[in-house]
Amino acid sequence: MQPTNITDPGFFHKVVDCQYACPAHTPVPEYIRLIAAGRYSDAYMLNWQSNVFPGILGRVCDRPCEPACRRGRVEEQPVAICRLKRVAADYKDDITARLPNVPTAKNGKHIALIGAGPASLTVARDLAPLGYDITIIDDGNAGGGMMRTQIPKFRLPDSVLDEECGYIEHLGITRRYGERVNSLKSLLDENYDAIFVGTGAPRGRDLDLPGRTEAAENIHLGIDWLSSISFGHVTSIGKRVIVLGGGNTAMDCCRSARRLGGESVQVVVRSGFEEMKASPWEKKDAMHEDIPILNFLVPKEFTHEDGKLTGLIFEKVKAEYDAKGRRNLVPAGEPDIHIPCDDVLVAVGQENTFPWIERDIGIEFDKWGMPIVDETTYRSTHEKIFFGGDSAFGPKNIIWAVAHGHEAAISIDLLCSDKSLGDRPPPHVTLASQKMGIHEWSYGNEISDDRRYLVPHAEKALVLCNIKAEVELGFDPVLALAEAERCLNCDVQTVFTENLCIECDACNDICPVDCISFVDNGDEDDLRTRLNAPAQNLTQDLYISSDLKTGHVMVKDEDVCLHCGLCAERCPTGAWDMQRFLFNTAKATDKAGSSCCKS
Amino acid sequence: MSFLPKPKLHHPGLGCNSLGFTKRDYEGAVSTLCAGCGHDSISAAIVRACFELDLPPHRIAKLSGIGCSSKTPTYFLGNSHGFNAVHGRMPSVVTGANLANRDLIYLGVSGDGDSASIGLGQFAHAMRRGVNMTYIVENNGVYGLTKGQFSATSDKGAKSKSGATNKDEAIDLVGMALQLGATFVARSFSGDKGQLVPLIKAALSHKGAAFIDCISPCVTFNNHQGSTKSFDYVREHNEAVNFLDVIVEKEEIIVDYAPGATEIVRQHDGSLLRLRKLGESDYDPSDRAAAFTFLEQRKAQGEIVTGLLYVDPTADDMHDLLGTTTTPLNELSEATLCPGGTVLDKLNASLR
Ligand SMILES: Cc1cc2nc3c(=O)[nH]c(=O)nc-3n(C[C@H](O)[C@H](O)[C@H](O)COP(=O)(O)OP(=O)(O)OC[C@H]3O[C@@H](n4cnc5c(N)ncnc54)[C@H](O)[C@@H]3O)c2cc1C
Ligand SMILES: Cc1ncc(C[n+]2csc(CCOP(=O)(O)OP(=O)(O)O)c2C)c(N)n1
Ligand code: SF4
Ligand code: SF4
Ligand code: SF4
Ligand SMILES: [Mg+2]
């Protein structure tokens, strides 16, 4: 193998598993260290710069970082990255003085953002400090999009939404709330320099089964039903409720139903329990609220009597795998079952719909009715129209919407500066030694053996009778510190200097996870089998030196390195050093320099 | 030196041996030796050897004298018995312990100062008595612990870090062990675990006095230009005569080397040593007289011969020679151990 080029930021970026997995590439270990140091406001601002909604995401993020966390590969559970983010939000001081200044002299460019969800708000946050005149148009009465209308208050209280949407709305942005855009053509006529479409995926998929029309009164589309709750239009439901579907919406529906009078609430999914789209913690929370999840049942028919729903008939299925390992659901050959109920909530998926976009204005749509959007620039086939969030590539989640928003903002800024959209600014990267003394580092390199701490919950009886009562209470500072100590500081990189190495084996001997080997070079497949511990995780790279004096090369399997720094402590010549790798994706706001996000 | 304990987290694929222990279970406290000290690598090799041999940690006794090398038993086999003797006195303590309890596996760890200077006489008698033990000298040519004075194994003409030249002849512990009747004699290098680990395994499964002279650079006082015990010097002058595999009972022997180049030696305990000859030399480790000549010739050429240099797989140990009881003393009843005045009188009478 060729020696690793560590000057390519891509190499160390990948080592920071959580940050790499985060769509917005939040510098996770850096903010966790700030939390451990009690610097909550600094941790908050670091988050705010990259993911815009730390308090919101610290409660409801889909957390792609956690399954990626290295800790989950060396013990059972990842670091509670998401819930630590909430700690920064909960315990910070007033940070309003650290928010960006909005220039009084505008740059003369006018941008319209349709929809006030996380995608649009991110674009607004990134462009307003540069002097753009921003107008947000949303058919609701408050900002936040689905974060406000769909996500139940017991997971995300309004106060948190108000605060974090407010930080952006107060950057001198024109809000046209309560207004629906019914024609993109007429909005184009308002002569904006660019338009960003962040209208989400607003339509719930229906289930067209026998009995659907007859029993319509008691069959509700999940996402519509949830927004009716948040608007206060729906305040009760029948005692026996069936929720169809296995994603986030289904989990929010069943838990909401338990709070509005549902005594026997059951979730029914077609596939197996393990394959459900909902996250493991969402399923756990639902089951904790006495909601059973029944699997391998395909709904066949709504039963009804005198125009009133009486229940649902399900066919039992089982999973069969074909030669290619693809799963098919086939009839189990058992009799159908009937589950009686008073109401059904249909949460089987969400769709995009753009009835308000004329098809002759230069935006091309594919055969599924989705706009054709560039995956790097987020521009549609219309020069001035951009898409992001759920409206771009279908329903995802908040953090993806934020990531899209950042990139779209860069594109809009490039467009308005007459630059090529391909000319994207590179990430900001620094690599600096953390050595303070012979065995002293400016980060805590002692590895905590603690297992993941659970976030305290409010008492079940209390939350089930008040749909607005928040269930999770968040970590207190003591628990937060203990959890923060579990972080392995994966951004503090092991950096190897071959010409200093005397091949004494000290690093190889001390390494608690057998990461380091000195072996004859070979091609990657062969090398992976010849290391101290075979490197079987192909998603993690090998770090390889050039030839050493004996002709061996140093090979480090990045997979399970604890970043404990013991290799560097035991190295007599300083051939190993621990260096902090800070990586921040470029943001449009960077141009505003120090006036933005004062820290 | 590190202050932090080694993290308990380990590689998820870390394997267990037949006793259900992982390699990590054979470790000790974190080392306080200088970073890069060769002795730490020998500790790591001991850990691996004991793990691979499935040795029950509580059946091992590790003993040492004084010196950096003699400190190392704290850094391996944290669940075994240990004894830190007076400077140079480890061999007598092992001899006594072995007489009392012959069932433990004895591992003596010493330095070149500890064994070739102050403890030379002790070393000699443990070898000639055939004490059933593994005796490892972590040989760095200096008194590391007392700041790097030449030891008795320092080569004539070698330079100290401060520039002084050693004028005295070096003691070659391998040659002495051969002469004194050790039945397993090897030399190795801390920087070559591929060679060292099997040698330690073979020594641990050998019955009788097994001696390993392990060159182990002192990075702080003896790893400079002009030293003959530095990493660079040893790597340049190392002449390995063979490569060893240790096959414990039950494992199948797969002969995958060209015939003639491989030799299989069966030891007392049933373990098999598979020796692959290296280089030009047709070195025969069962020929003691030839070993002497070979070592002398190569030494004259400035080479450091490593590998398994001599083995007598059918050797007897001290207990066989003395005809002692096969039962460890702590398993004998008080009545057997102190049979009383009548038996003593009888014994005395028989000697008159
Ligand atoms: C029940 C449910 C629970 C969820 N839970 C989570 C969760 O826990 N974590 C997570 O990360 N994600 C969750 N999501 C997904 C998340 O809410 C969305 O992915 C995210 O809000 C998408 O953001 P967006 O900016 O693309 O648009 P949205 O948040 O969908 O906002 C779009 C806004 O545009 C408005 N709009 C639409 N069309 C027009 C128009 N023509 N004119 C004017 N305004 C218009 C809409 O009313 C809405 O306010 C959940 C979704 C649902 C349905
Ligand atoms: C009776 C006695 N004499 C002298 C000393 C001082 N002393 C301590 S360690 C040592 C030499 C150790 O050298 P070596 O065995 O080679 O160990 P190293 O530190 O090199 O590993 C000496 C002379 C002592 N501790 N006790
Ligand atoms: S241990 Fe810390 S830095 Fe490493 S992946 Fe997990 S959260 Fe990120
Ligand atoms: S930091 Fe060094 S010693 Fe620690 S786990 Fe990583 S490679 Fe091993
Ligand atoms: S002084 Fe020499 S022998 Fe002692 S610990 Fe340091 S390097 Fe090792
Ligand atoms: Mg010494």
pLDDT in tens, B174-223: 999 999 999 999 999 999 999 999 999 999 999 999 999 999 999 999 99
N-term to C-term CA, chain B: 61
B-facing residues of A in 282-301 (CB < 8 A) are none
- For chain B, give the longest Cα–Cα distance: 69
What average pLDDT is seen over chain B?
A: 93
Other beta carbons within 10 Å of A467: 17
Partners of A584 in beta bridges: A428
Asked if B2 and A550 come within 8 Å (Cβ–Cβ), the reply is no
Sign of the CA dihedral running A355, A356, A360, A362: negative
Whether residue A378 is predicted with pLDDT greater than 60 in this model: the reply is yes
Question: Using CA atoms, how far apart are residues A411 and A422, in angstroms rounded to an integer?
Answer: 8
State mean pLDDT over B16-41.
96
Q: Which ligand is nearest to the CA of A281?
A: 1
Mutation target vs A (from B6, B9, B235; most A CBs, 10 A cutoff) = B9
State mean pLDDT over B246-251.
72
Whether residue B286 is predicted with pLDDT greater than 90 in this model: the reply is yes
Whether residue A592 is predicted with pLDDT greater than 70 in this model: the reply is yes
Question: Using CA atoms, how far apart are residues A22 and A18, in angstroms rounded to an integer?
Answer: 6
| ipTM for this model | 0.91
N-term to C-term CA, chain A: 43
Whether residue A593 is predicted with pLDDT greater than 80 in this model: the reply is no
A-facing residues of B in 126-155 (CB < 8 A) are none
Whether residue A574 is predicted with pLDDT greater than 90 in this model: the reply is yes
Q: Which pLDDT belongs to residue A495? A: 98
Grouping H, G, I as helix, E, B as strand and the rest as coil, residue A207 is: coil
Helix (H) or strand (E) holding B178: helix B173-180
Dihedral through CA A339, CA A345, CA A351, CA A353, nearest 10?
130
Question: Using CA atoms, how far apart are residues A135 and A56, in angstroms rounded to an integer?
Answer: 23
CA distances from B267 to A29, B57, B60, B134, B214 (A): 55, 22, 20, 15, 22
Chain B interface includes A520 (CB < 8 A): no
pLDDT above 90 covers a percentage of chain B that reads 88
Q: Determine if ligand 2 sits within 6 Å of the CB of residue B144.
A: yes
Question: Using CA atoms, how far apart are residues A260 and A515, in angstroms rounded to an integer?
Answer: 54
Asked if A513 and B41 come within 8 Å (Cβ–Cβ), the reply is no
Whether residue A489 is predicted with pLDDT greater than 60 in this model: the reply is yes
Question: Using CA atoms, how far apart are residues B307 and B279, in angstroms rounded to an integer?
Answer: 12
Grouping H, G, I as helix, E, B as strand and the rest as coil, residue A589 is: helix
Q: What's the angle, vertex CA A579, arms to CA A576 and CA A581, rounded to 5?
A: 140
State mean pLDDT over B275-304.
89
Question: Using CA atoms, how far apart are residues B342 and A285, in angstroms rounded to an integer?
Answer: 81
Residue in chain B nearest A506 by alpha carbon: B36
Question: Using CA atoms, how far apart are residues A486 and B115, in angstroms rounded to an integer?
Answer: 46
Q: Which pLDDT belongs to residue A570? A: 94
Whether residue B39 is predicted with pLDDT greater than 60 in this model: the reply is yes
Question: Using CA atoms, how far apart are residues B303 and B212, in angstroms rounded to an integer?
Answer: 18
Other beta carbons within 10 Å of A37: 13
The model's pLDDT over B45-65, given as tens digits with 9 standing for 90+, comes to 999 999 999 999 999 999 999
Buried b (16+ CB within 10 A) or exposed e, A297-318: bbbbbbbbeeeebbbbbbbebe
Q: Determine if ligand 3 sits within 6 Å of the CB of residue A17.
A: yes
Chain B interface includes A529 (CB < 8 A): no
Q: Indicate the residue of B2, B7, B219 with minimum beta-carbon distance to A504.
A: B219
Q: Determine if ligand 2 sits within 6 Å of the CB of residue B66.
A: yes
Whether residue B255 is predicted with pLDDT greater than 50 in this model: the reply is no
Minimal-distance CA residue to ligand 2 atom 5: B87
Whether residue B280 is predicted with pLDDT greater than 90 in this model: the reply is no
Confidence of residue B27 (pLDDT cuts 50, 70, 90): very high
State mean pLDDT over A103-119.
96
Asked if B9 and A572 come within 8 Å (Cβ–Cβ), the reply is no
Helix (H) or strand (E) holding A435: strand A435-437
Phi, psi (5° rounding) for residue A209?
-120, 160
Atom of ligand 5 nearest to the CA of B69: 3
Report the separation in Å between the CA atom of A116 and the middle of ligand 1, taken as the mean of its atom positions.
9
Asked if B12 and A560 come within 8 Å (Cβ–Cβ), the reply is yes
Question: Using CA atoms, how far apart are residues B94 and A509, in angstroms rounded to an integer?
Answer: 28
Minimal-distance CA residue to ligand 3 atom 4: A490
Of A585, A487, A563, the C-alpha closest to A87 is A487
Other beta carbons within 10 Å of A210: 13
Whether residue A481 is predicted with pLDDT greater than 50 in this model: the reply is yes
Structure tokens at A183: 């024609």
Of A498, A510, A512, the C-alpha closest to A574 is A498
Mutation target vs B (from A503, A513, A515; most B CBs, 10 A cutoff) = A513
Asked if B4 and A514 come within 8 Å (Cβ–Cβ), the reply is no
The model's pLDDT over B63-117, given as tens digits with 9 standing for 90+, comes to 999 999 999 999 999 999 999 999 999 999 999 999 999 999 999 999 999 999 9
CA distance B237 to chain A (A): 13
pLDDT above 70 covers a percentage of chain B that reads 96
Question: Using CA atoms, how far apart are residues A403 and A119, in angstroms rounded to an integer?
Answer: 8
Whether residue A595 is predicted with pLDDT greater than 50 in this model: the reply is no
The model's pLDDT over A252-290, given as tens digits with 9 standing for 90+, comes to 999 999 999 999 999 999 999 999 999 999 999 999 999
Report the separation in Å between the CA atom of A226 and the middle of ligand 2, taken as the mean of its atom positions.
79
Q: Where are the alpha helices (DSSP H) in B22-89?
A: 38-52, 68-71
Chain A interface includes B15 (CB < 8 A): no
Q: Which pLDDT belongs to residue B251? A: 54
Give the CB-side neighbour count of residue B150, counting CA atoms within 13 A.
Answer: 21
Token pair 């805590």: residue? A444
Report the separation in Å between the CA atom of A349 and the middle of ligand 6, taken as the mean of its atom positions.
73
Asked if A514 and B7 come within 8 Å (Cβ–Cβ), the reply is no
Structure tokens at B74: 């704290």
Confidence of residue B277 (pLDDT cuts 50, 70, 90): confident
